Chains A and B, each alone.
Chain A
């Protein structure tokens, strides 16, 4: 009777340790929320974006015409450098100079070297 009780306690402790370990592993290895599911704190045109002083590392949505296409990178409104996610390459490859597009991405900050605002991890949104 006593050994059965000990056995139950042992099982309970092992179960607790396994549950805690799984919780910790799940917490440590949690995936980053995809950009498509993140809430944008700004949505608008390039000129509105520049004047509104959005804080760095925020998710933003910009609607603008493409003013330059430089390989994998686009320029919007002559001021914003847009670099897209690798998974979006197919969508971005169809964009041409002068196209009006809507992108969602992470605003990194102002690049003093190129004198432009930098947007990374961008995805293309449908223009509504």
Chain B
């Protein structure tokens, strides 16, 4: 645990000092519903991310309470009953974009694996994400889809809604990163 914390600290420190691309308004969305009348989905439009273009290191941070639901009551339940966002306000990912050669990126999407540690509700989980990267006029576009299990992060789903909430949460990230001066 201490080693991981030190690793994250060193990674974030190195990201802050190297040539990097960043966003403060990354879109992170998820869907967590089975076939239900009202879909359980939300979007966070204020995710922050930094990518070090020299070595592919990436750090993402988002505030759980910033997930925006169509139904206010659903948002309240999400924060209070499932994510416990007052106790665990942030979720983060620290990892590395494999084989990133920034100079070889074009305006066509290219597949890259991202390997790292996702932390939700204070629980760390090693994950591999398939992402698509491309150069844009202002910097870099990163799109990725991946899934996580509610059980991996100790998210308790009450029996009464168990058939409405999927055990597998589908997450999508869509970030437009611009060069950070």
- Chain A residues in contact with chain B, CB under 8 A? 27-32, 56-57, 70, 72-73, 81, 83, 108-109, 111-114, 118, 120
What string of 1s and 0s marks CB contacts (under 8 Å) between B54-83 and chain A? 000001010101100001110100000000
What string of 1s and 0s marks CB contacts (under 8 Å) between B1-35 and chain A? 00000000000100100000010110000000000
Among residues 125 to 147 in chain B, which have CB atoms less than 8 Å away from a CB atom of chain A? none
Asked if A111 and B48 sit within 8 Å, CB to CB, the answer is yes
* CA gap between A29 and B90 in the complex, in Å: 27
Asked if A56 and B61 sit within 8 Å, CB to CB, the answer is no
Asked if A113 and B72 sit within 8 Å, CB to CB, the answer is no
Residue in contact with B89 in the complex, picked from A32, A109, A114, CB distance below 8 Å = A109
CB contacts (< 8 Å) of A28 on chain B: these are 71, 73
* CA gap between A70 and B179 in the complex, in Å: 12
Asked if A109 and B63 sit within 8 Å, CB to CB, the answer is yes
B36 within 8 A of A: no
Q: Given known contacts A73-B24, A83-B25, A114-B48, is B59 in contact with A108 (CB within 8 Å)?
A: no
- Supply 16 further A-B pairs (C-beta < 8 A) apart from A57-B65, A83-B46: A29-B73, A56-B86, A57-B85, A70-B24, A73-B25, A81-B24, A83-B24, A108-B66, A108-B89, A109-B89, A112-B61, A113-B12, A113-B48, A113-B50, A113-B61, A118-B63
9 contacts between A and B (CB under 8 A): A27-B73, A28-B73, A30-B73, A56-B86, A111-B24, A111-B48, A113-B49, A113-B59, A114-B22
* CA gap between A103 and B80 in the complex, in Å: 27
CB contacts (< 8 Å) of A27 on chain B: these are 73
CB contacts (< 8 Å) of B59 on chain A: these are 113
In chain A, what residue has the closest Cβ to B90?
A109
Min Cβ gap B48→A in Å is: 5
CB contacts (< 8 Å) of B65 on chain A: these are 56-57, 108
CB contacts (< 8 Å) of A120 on chain B: these are 46, 66
